[in-house]
C-alpha cells in the first residue's frame, strides 16, 4: 500500500516539473494525468474500504517522535490510586481472557501514546524520558508482540518512564498511571523499573501505587518478589559495553576482582584479609578519592588508577556484592567483560531466573561465608572455568547486551506464561550449541523385538530382482511389512497379484516424481520404529544377516545400522574431503542401500533437511545416502554401525546403471557431495570407527546348530 503511493507521487512530481518546461505536449499528458488521477482516487477508495475491514488500521502505531513537544495531560489531585497488591499471582491478578486475540499463540502488547503528565500547577510527574526507556518502548513497538489496538492487547505498557524512582515524583506518577484510559486497577499492565527506593531504606520495589500491575524490576529480594508474577530484570549498566570482550581470554592476571564502589566494610575487611593471605590473586578497587567518576577505579591499597569497566577483563572472577539495593551495575559489567560473577547477595532474586540457570554461569557464596571465597574458587577446575566462561559469554550476548534484548526477554517470559506449551526447554535457553546434545532419540532403550521392522524398497523397473528380494526378505522372522516405492512414472507396476505370495503384507506406493528422496518419505504405512531401507538389487543378504542387523539396530536405535560401508578422508593436497569406497580398516558411513534406520530420521530428512541440499540430491540423482549419514551424525554425534563381514555388493553406488552413465563421474560427484554437505552443516559431523558388529559366536568353533545366527558372511 505504502509503496504504491510512493511510486504514484513521484510520478506526479516528475510530470509537474516537465510540464513547466514544455507546453506543447499536453495531449499525451492529459491522458496520463487522467489515468493517474483515476488511479489515485481508486487507491484512495481502496484504502478507505480496507481500513474499515481491518480494525487495527484505525489504531495508529505509537510514534516516538516529538519527544520534546508532547501533549500535556493534567492530573487531578483527587485521582484515586490503589497500592501495589502484594498478594498478586498469575492466577488471581492476571486477566488471562485479555490474551488469545492473536491467531499465532502469541501475546500482544500495547504501548500507550507518549504524553506529558503534569499536576494542576504544571509541574511534570517525571523528568524527560530517559534514553533507555525510549529504547525500551522502541524495542516493544518493533517486536513481533506489538499491537496498536489496546482492546486486543494482552499486556499494556505505559509510556511513563518509571525506570529510575529518583527521576519521578511518586505520588503524581502513581496518579498518572491510575488515570490511564485502560488502567483498570493495573490489570495486565507491565511496569518497568530498574532503580527503586530511596535513602535510607531503599525499598526493593519501586514505590508507586501500581495496583495489580506486573512489575519487571531489578532488585527484588525473595520477600518482595511475587513468584510467577513479577519479572526479575538485570540492572542495566550504560557503560557495560565499554568493557565488552568478543573472544574468551583464557589467561587473566587476577583470580578475583572486587571493584564495586563503597562496599560494606565487613566485606572489605574479609577481602583484605584474604588478599594478604593470597598475594596477587585478589584485586580490590573502589572509587578514586575526590573525583566522582564512575569509570575510574583506584586500588584500595596501592591507589593506582584503572579504567573501569575495562579492568574487569583482567580477572577471571568478579565479585557482585549486595549494596544498599539488591541489583548491582557490576553484574552486567562483569558479564560483558566475560568475568565470571561471584554473587554475595543473600536472598537475591537473580535476573530472568526462570529462563537462565545461574548455576551454569556463576558462583554463589553466602554473605557469612565470604571468607571461604578463595577456597571455593580455587577448587574450581580449569575445565570448569572454561565452561563457565563460554556460558557467561552466551548469556550476555543472548539476554543482556542491550536494552532491546532485556525487554524482549521480559516479554518472552510473559509469553511463556500464557502459552506454556511453546516454552523453550532448559537446553535451548542455557546451553551453548556445543554442549547441547540434541540427539532426538536420547532415552537409552533397547527397542522391543516383537515390533519388528518394515522393509522399504525403492524400485524403478527391475521387477525380477525386486521379486527375488521380496521372497528373500519374507524369510526374515522380524519382517512385518514390505513397502515397495515405485519410482517410475512412465511404467505401471505389476499388479499385486503378480508379486510373490508371502505371509507378510506388501504395500505398493506410486510416487509422482522420480526422486531419490522418495525413499525417505515418512509414509504412514510404516507402522514400526525400525525401517529397513533396501535397494531392489540387494539380493545377496541372507535372512540371518538381515535379522542380525535388526538385532543390532535394536541395541542402537538412534544410529544407522547396515551393510555397505564407506569412508570419508581428508585429502591434504587439495584440502578437501574425499569419498572412499575401498576396503579399509575404518568406516564412517553406512549406505542406505541396505540399512536399518529409525523412522524418525525419515521424518527429519523430509522436514528438517536444508531444502537446498534435498533439491540438489533430487536434481543430481545422487548422494541421498550420504545426506542421510550427515543428517543422523549431525543430530546424534555418533557414527553408524556396520554389521557382518564385507559382501560383494553390486556397486550400490551405481543404482540405475543405465541412467547414470559414467561410473567415475558418479564417484567424483560423491566426493563433491561430501564437501558440499560439510559446508551446509557448518562442520564435518561424520565420525569414523574401526569396528563392525558380528554375532557373539561368529566364527567360533561351536556347533553351528546352537548359534542363533549361523548363515553369516558367505560371499
Single residue of 71, 181, 292, 682 touching other proteins by CB under 8 A? 292
Contact 192, 136 (CB under 8 A): yes
Single residue of 113, 494, 500, 645 touching other proteins by CB under 8 A? 645
Nearest distance from residue 583's CB to other proteins, in Å? 5
Does 609 interact with other proteins (rule: CB under 8 A)?
A: no
Does 695 interact with other proteins (rule: CB under 8 A)?
A: yes
Which lies closer to other proteins via its Cβ, residue 329 or residue 616?
A: 329
Does 589 interact with other proteins (rule: CB under 8 A)?
A: no
Q: According to CB under 8 A, which residues from 145 to 164 bind other proteins?
A: 161, 163-164
Cα–Cα distance between 365 and 372 in angstroms, integer? Answer: 8
Which lies closer to other proteins via its Cβ, residue 404 or residue 471?
A: 404
Does 110 interact with other proteins (rule: CB under 8 A)?
A: no
Cα–Cα distance between 490 and 627 in angstroms, integer? Answer: 27
| Segment contacting other proteins by CB under 8 A, of 76-84, 363-371, 490-498, 653-661 | 363-371
Single residue of 21, 421, 497, 661 touching other proteins by CB under 8 A? 421
Residue 625 falls in the annotated catalytic set: yes
| Segment contacting other proteins by CB under 8 A, of 11-19, 206-214, 454-462, 617-625 | 11-19
Contact 370, 320 (CB under 8 A): no
Q: According to CB under 8 A, which residues from 50 to 109 bind other proteins?
A: 64-65, 67, 89-91, 96-97, 100, 105
Nearest distance from residue 576's CB to other proteins, in Å? 23
The three three-digit cell numbers of residue 552, written as one number: 543390532
Which lies closer to other proteins via its Cβ, residue 296 or residue 678?
A: 296
Which lies closer to other proteins via its Cβ, residue 65 or residue 503?
A: 65
Which lies closer to other proteins via its Cβ, residue 402 or residue 656?
A: 402
Does 444 interact with other proteins (rule: CB under 8 A)?
A: yes
Does 255 interact with other proteins (rule: CB under 8 A)?
A: no
Nearest distance from residue 535's CB to other proteins, in Å? 22
Does 251 interact with other proteins (rule: CB under 8 A)?
A: no
- Taking residues 507 to 536 in sequence order and writing x for each that binds other proteins by CB under 8 A, - otherwise, the string is --------------------xxx-------
Which lies closer to other proteins via its Cβ, residue 461 or residue 555?
A: 555
| Segment contacting other proteins by CB under 8 A, of 169-177, 457-465, 497-505, 638-646 | 638-646
Does 456 interact with other proteins (rule: CB under 8 A)?
A: no
- In the chain, what's the furthest Cα-to-Cα distance? 110
The three three-digit cell numbers of residue 271, written as one number: 577481602
Does 272 interact with other proteins (rule: CB under 8 A)?
A: no
Does 45 interact with other proteins (rule: CB under 8 A)?
A: no
Does 443 interact with other proteins (rule: CB under 8 A)?
A: yes
Does 693 interact with other proteins (rule: CB under 8 A)?
A: yes
Does 694 interact with other proteins (rule: CB under 8 A)?
A: yes
Single residue of 59, 603, 649, 681 touching other proteins by CB under 8 A? 603
Residue with cell 568475568: 339
Single residue of 25, 37, 51, 574 touching other proteins by CB under 8 A? 37
Contact 88, 225 (CB under 8 A): no
Does 261 interact with other proteins (rule: CB under 8 A)?
A: yes
Contact 365, 373 (CB under 8 A): yes
Does 397 interact with other proteins (rule: CB under 8 A)?
A: no
Instruction: Taking each helix axis as running N to C, give the angle between helix 611-620 and helix 624-636, from 0 to 180 degrees, rounded to the nearest 10.
Output: 160
| Segment contacting other proteins by CB under 8 A, of 30-38, 177-185, 247-255, 674-682 | 30-38
> What residues are paired with 73 via a beta bridge?
117
Q: Where are the beta strands (DSSP E) in 31-152?
A: 72-74, 109-111, 116-118
Single residue of 109, 125, 129, 288 touching other proteins by CB under 8 A? 129
Single residue of 116, 642, 670, 676 touching other proteins by CB under 8 A? 642
With a CB cutoff of 8 Å and minimum separation 6, the contacts of 179 are 73, 75, 76, 79
Contact 147, 110 (CB under 8 A): yes
Q: According to CB under 8 A, which residues from 185 to 224 bind other proteins?
A: 194-195, 199-202, 221-223
Cα–Cα distance between 479 and 191 in angstroms, integer? Answer: 63
Which lies closer to other proteins via its Cβ, residue 65 or residue 662?
A: 65
Q: Where are the beta strands (DSSP E) in 337-496?
A: 340-344, 363-364, 453-459, 479-486
Single residue of 249, 426, 659, 665 touching other proteins by CB under 8 A? 426
CB atoms within 10 A of CB 543: 17
Quick one: which of 117, 120, 112, 109 has its CA closest to 158?
112
> What residues are paired with 670 via a beta bridge?
none
Q: According to CB under 8 A, which residues from 311 to 340 bind other proteins?
A: 321-324, 328-329
Which lies closer to other proteins via its Cβ, residue 90 or residue 462?
A: 90
| Segment contacting other proteins by CB under 8 A, of 205-213, 462-470, 494-502, 640-648 | 640-648
Does 620 interact with other proteins (rule: CB under 8 A)?
A: no
Nearest distance from residue 634's CB to other proteins, in Å? 13
Does 367 interact with other proteins (rule: CB under 8 A)?
A: yes
Which lies closer to other proteins via its Cβ, residue 72 or residue 324?
A: 324
Quick one: which of 387, 389, 362, 390 has its CA closest to 376?
362
Burial state string for 348-382 with b = 16 or more CB within 10 A and e = fewer than 16: bbbbbeebbbbebbbbbbebeebeebbeebeeeee
Which lies closer to other proteins via its Cβ, residue 202 or residue 467?
A: 202
Cα–Cα distance between 615 and 658 in angstroms, integer? Answer: 22
Please report, for residues 74, 282, 621, 623, 628, the alpha-carbon distance to residue 670 in angstroms, rounded to integers and kept in the order given: 75, 58, 11, 6, 13
Nearest distance from residue 514's CB to other proteins, in Å? 27
Q: Which of 571, 625, 694, 711 is catalytic?
A: 625
Give the interface size with other proteins as a residue count (CB under 8 A): 162
3-state helix/strand/coil string of 151-191: HHCCEEECCCCCCEHHHECHHHHHHHHHCCCCCHHHCCEEE
Cα–Cα distance between 301 and 136 in angstroms, integer? Answer: 41
Which lies closer to other proteins via its Cβ, residue 317 or residue 616?
A: 317
CB atoms within 10 A of CB 209: 18
Q: According to CB under 8 A, which residues from 476 to 505 bind other proteins?
A: none
With a CB cutoff of 8 Å and minimum separation 6, the contacts of 1 are 47, 50
Nearest distance from residue 619's CB to other proteins, in Å? 27
Single residue of 453, 486, 548, 630 touching other proteins by CB under 8 A? 548
Given CA atoms 63, 68, 71, 75 in this order, what sign does their dihedral have?
A: positive
Nearest distance from residue 441's CB to other proteins, in Å? 6
Which lies closer to other proteins via its Cβ, residue 346 or residue 461?
A: 346
Cα–Cα distance between 565 and 567 in angstroms, integer? Answer: 7
Does 701 interact with other proteins (rule: CB under 8 A)?
A: yes
Quick one: which of 96, 89, 104, 190 has its CA closest to 145?
104
Does 691 interact with other proteins (rule: CB under 8 A)?
A: yes
Cα–Cα distance between 116 and 110 in angstroms, integer? Answer: 18
Burial state string for 252-278 with b = 16 or more CB within 10 A and e = fewer than 16: bebbbbbbbeebbeebbebbeebbeee
Bridge pairing between strands 565-571 and 576-580: antiparallel
The three three-digit cell numbers of residue 397, written as one number: 550476548
Task: Cite the active site residues.
Answer: 625
Amino acid at each position: 500500500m505504502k509503496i504504491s503511493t510512493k511510486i504514484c507521487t513521484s510520478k506526479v512530481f516528475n510530470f509537474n516539473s516537465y510540464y513547466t518546461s514544455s507546453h506543447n505536449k499536453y495531449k499525451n499528458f492529459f491522458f496520463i494525468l487522467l489515468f493517474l488521477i483515476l488511479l489515485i482516487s481508486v487507491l484512495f477508495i481502496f484504502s478507505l474500504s480496507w481500513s474499515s475491514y481491518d480494525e487495527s488500521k484505525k489504531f495508529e502505531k505509537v510514534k516516538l517522535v516529538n519527544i520534546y513537544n508532547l501533549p500535556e495531560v493534567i492530573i487531578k489531585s483527587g485521582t484515586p490510586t490503589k497500592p501495589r497488591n502484594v498478594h498478586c499471582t498469575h492466577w488471581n491478578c492476571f486477566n488471562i481472557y485479555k490474551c488469545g486475540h492473536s491467531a499465532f499463540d502469541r501475546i500482544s502488547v500495547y504501548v500507550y501514546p507518549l504524553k506529558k503528565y503534569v499536576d494542576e500547577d504544571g509541574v511534570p510527574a517525571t523528568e524527560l524520558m530517559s534514553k533507555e526507556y525510549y529504547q525500551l518502548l522502541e524495542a516493544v513497538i518493533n517486536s513481533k508482540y506489538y499491537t496498536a489496538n489496546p482492546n486486543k492487547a494482552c499486556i499494556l505498557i505505559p509510556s511513563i518512564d518509571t525506570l529510575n524512582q529518583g527521576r519521578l515524583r511518586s505520588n503524581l506518577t502513581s496518579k498518572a498511571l491510575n488515570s490511564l484510559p485502560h488502567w483498570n486497577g493495573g490489570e495486565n499492565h507491565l511496569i518497568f523499573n530498574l532503580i527503586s527506593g530511596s535513602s535510607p531504606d531503599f525499598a526493593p520495589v519501586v514505590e508507586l501505587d501500581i495496583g495489580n500491575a506486573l512489575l519487571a524490576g531489578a532488585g527484588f529480594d525473595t520477600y518482595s518478589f511475587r513468584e510467577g508474577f513479577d519479572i526479575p530484570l538485570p540492572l542495566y549498566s550504560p557503560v557495560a559495553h565499554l568493557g565488552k570482550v568478543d573472544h574468551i581470554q583464557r589467561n587473566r592476571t587476577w583470580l578475583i576482582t572486587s571493584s564495586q564502589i563503597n562496599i560494606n566494610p565487613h566485606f572489605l575487611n574479609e577481602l583484605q584479609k584474604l588478599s594478604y593471605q593470597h598475594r596477587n590473586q585478589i584485586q580490590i578497587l573502589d572509587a578514586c578519592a575526590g573525583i566522582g567518576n564512575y569509570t575510574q577505579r583506584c586500588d584500595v591499597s596501592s591507589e593506582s588508577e584503572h579504567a573501569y569497566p575495562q579492568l574487569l577483563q583482567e580477572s577471571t572472577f568478579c565479585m557482585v556484592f549486595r549494596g544498599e539495593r539488591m541489583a548491582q551495575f557490576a553484574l552486567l559489567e562483569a558479564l560483558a567483560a566475560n568475568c565470571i560473577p561471584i554473587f554475595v547477595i543473600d536472598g537475591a532474586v537473580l535476573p530472568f531466573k526462570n529462563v537462565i540457570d545461574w548455576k551454569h554461569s556463576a558462583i554463589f557464596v553466602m554473605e557469612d561465608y565470604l571468607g571461604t571465597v578463595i577456597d571455593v574458587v580455587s577448587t574450581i577446575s580449569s575445565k570448569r572455568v572454561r565452561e563457565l566462561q563460554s556460558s557467561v559469554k552466551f548469556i550476555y550476548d543472548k539476554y543482556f547486551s542491550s536494552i532491546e534484548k532485556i525487554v524482549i526477554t521480559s516479554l518472552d517470559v510473559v509469553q511463556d506464561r500464557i502459552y506454556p506449551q511453546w516454552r523453550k526447554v532448559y537446553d535451548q535457553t542455557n546451553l551453548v550449541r556445543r554442549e547441547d546434545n540434541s540427539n532426538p532419540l536420547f532415552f537409552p532403550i533397547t527397542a522391543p523385538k516383537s515390533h519388528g521392522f518394515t522393509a522399504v524398497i525403492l524400485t524403478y523397473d527391475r521387477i525380477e530382482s525386486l521379486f527375488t528380494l521380496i521372497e528373500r526378505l519374507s524369510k526374515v522372522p522380524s519382517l512385518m511389512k514390505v513397502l515397495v516405492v515405485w519410482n517410475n512414472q512412465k511404467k505401471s507396476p505389476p499388479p499385486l497379484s503378480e508379486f510373490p505370495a508371502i505371509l507378510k503384507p506388501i504395500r505398493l506406493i506410486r510416487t509422482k516424481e522420480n526422486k531419490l528422496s522418495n525413499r525417505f518419505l515418512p509414509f504412514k504405512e510404516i507402522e514400526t520404529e525400525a525401517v529397513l531401507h533396501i535397494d531392489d538389487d540387494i539380493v545377496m543378504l541372507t535372512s540371518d544377516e538381515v535379522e542380525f542387523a535388526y538385532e543390532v539396530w535394536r541395541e542402537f536405535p538412534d544410529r544407522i545400522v547396515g551393510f555397505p560401508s564407506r569412508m570419508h578422508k581428508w585429502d591434504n593436497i587439495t584440502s578437501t574431503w574425499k569419498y572412499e569406497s575401498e576396503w579399509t580398516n575404518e568406516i564412517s558411513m553406512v549406505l542406505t542401500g541396505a540399512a536399518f534406520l529409525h523412522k524418525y530420521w525419515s521424518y527429519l530428512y523430509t522436514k528438517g533437511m536444508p531444502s537446498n541440499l534435498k533439491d540438489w540430491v533430487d536434481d543430481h540423482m545422487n548422494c541421498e545416502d550420504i545426506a542421510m549419514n550427515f543428517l543422523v551424525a549431525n543430530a546424534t554425534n555418533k557414527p553408524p554401525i556396520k554389521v557382518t563381514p564385507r559382501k560383494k555388493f553390486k556397486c550400490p553406488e551405481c543404482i540405475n546403471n543405465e541412467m547414470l552413465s559414467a561410473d567415475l563421474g558418479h564417484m567424483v560427484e560423491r566426493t563433491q557431495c561430501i564437501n558440499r554437505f560439510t559446508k551446509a552443516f557448518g562442520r564435518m559431523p561424520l565420525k569414523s570407527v574401526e569396528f563392525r558388529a558380528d554375532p557373539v559366536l561368529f566364527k567360533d568353533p561351536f556347533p553351528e546348530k546352537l548359534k542363533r545366527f549361523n548363515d553369516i558372511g558367505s560371499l
